[in-house]
Amino acid sequence: MLHKLNKKRGAFTLVEIMFVVAIIALLAAIALPNFIRARKRAQASKILEDLRILDAAIDLYAIETNKIAGFTATFADLQTYLKKDSSLYNSKGKDLFGNDYAGGTFKVDTIPVVSDTTYKNLSDVAPAEYWSPYK
């Protein structure tokens, strides 16, 4: 009777389970670098868009306060021209990596630039041409 029950019972062997785990590990090894690259590219896009917004904020600040070319403004001066409670507004002038945009000071009629540290962190997914004209 006991022998009869064991014949009806089916199960996976250890080799079959190991084979499935190996396939899943192989797929994860293929997908993970692509995921990391896509994440870094998204970070670069966010920083580039923030630089574009800051460039527009500098222009608005200069127009409304009658500042001439070369005048230095701080991030606090530009905050008025940013959307309230946006990530850039609340960033205190720092990018995703904690580096100051444009070194912490912004000059009227000068394009803000990405910090060297941020550029180096993202250079594998965003070369120099990507940052133009913000590099």
Q: Is 105 helix (H, G, I), strand (E, B) or coil?
A: strand
**pLDDT for residue 32:** 92
Residue 15 pLDDT level (bands cut at 50, 70, 90): very high
Q: What integer is the mean pLDDT of 38-54? A: 95
**pLDDT for residue 7:** 61
Structure tokens at 5: 């029950």
Domain parsing of the chain, residue ranges: 14-131
Share above pLDDT 70 across residues of the chain, in percent, rounded to a whole number: 93
Q: What is the DSSP letter of 67?
A: P
| Residue (of 69, 63, 65, 66) closest to 111 by Cα position | 69
**pLDDT for residue 35:** 93
| Residue (of 107, 89, 108, 80) closest to 50 by Cα position | 89
How many angstroms separate the first and last alpha carbons of the chain? 80
pTM of structure: 0.79
